[in-house]
Amino acid sequence: MSPAKPCTALRPVAGLVALLAAAAVVLQYVLLLRAAPDGAALATLRFLSYFTILSNLAVVVACAVMASGRPSWIASPRALGAVALYIAVTGLVYVLVLRHLWQPQGLQWWADSGLHYATPLAYLGWWLGLVPHARLRWRDLGAWLLFPLAYLAWTLLRGAWLGEYPYPFIDVDALGLAGALRNAALVCVGFVVVGAALVALDRLLGRRASA
């Protein structure tokens, strides 16, 4: 199965996606700082403790590197696939679990829409439509899961230390450790399912391009 050649729109569209994600991240950070009751340092730590922010930052970095055309590990098929998985799960968890819990208004609505809707759709559209395919392997899925598992471990440690959790479905204080771990396991299953779907799509699109 020979890899497809890169599309001429690959780099300019990557730049636009990077700008979109960066705008949403910066706006959310500014809004968080404006409302922070305990100073910029703790607000920044809280900001970087959201998987949503980390996945959107991954989109910014990956697309900026792709737009630059410079060789980097973040521009590898495995890394771009990993970012696709992380930002896809970000959007799905928000739509299925979190969006019913609050009604953002004004600038917060714009930040929320950018982080959870616009960036996931834009990146996945770019990855599916413009990135060359037939380059992923099933073993890549195992490597992709390392980051979510590390994030889970950090979240539980941080929560035990500070007594706060970024998402209600993993709040040990409210749900108990067993309940939080059960929800985390369900999300991990989601990562596996979405990741497997992305690898399958990559292989299917690669076969179509070769044909």
From residue 83, alpha-carbon distances to 89, 115, 138, 210 in Å are 10, 14, 16, 24
**Span 78-108, pLDDT tens digits:** 999 999 999 999 999 999 999 998 899 999 9
By C-alpha distance, which of 105, 110, 19 is closest to 61? Answer: 19
For residue 163, the Cα-to-chain-centroid distance in whole angstroms is 25
Joined together, the tokens standing for residue 23 give: 């705008």
- Per-residue model confidence (pLDDT) at position 71: 83
Q: What is the pLDDT of residues 111-168, one digit of tens each?
A: 999 999 999 999 999 999 999 999 999 999 999 999 999 999 999 999 998 889 999 9
Average pLDDT, the chain: 92
Q: Using pLDDT thresholds of 50, 70 and 90, give the confidence band for residue 6.
A: low
Q: Spell out the domain ranges in the chain.
A: 10-210
In the predicted model, is pLDDT for residue 72 greater than 60?
Answer: yes
Q: Is the pTM of this model over 0.85?
A: yes
pLDDT at residue number 149:
97
- CB of 87 closer than 8 Å to CB of 55: yes
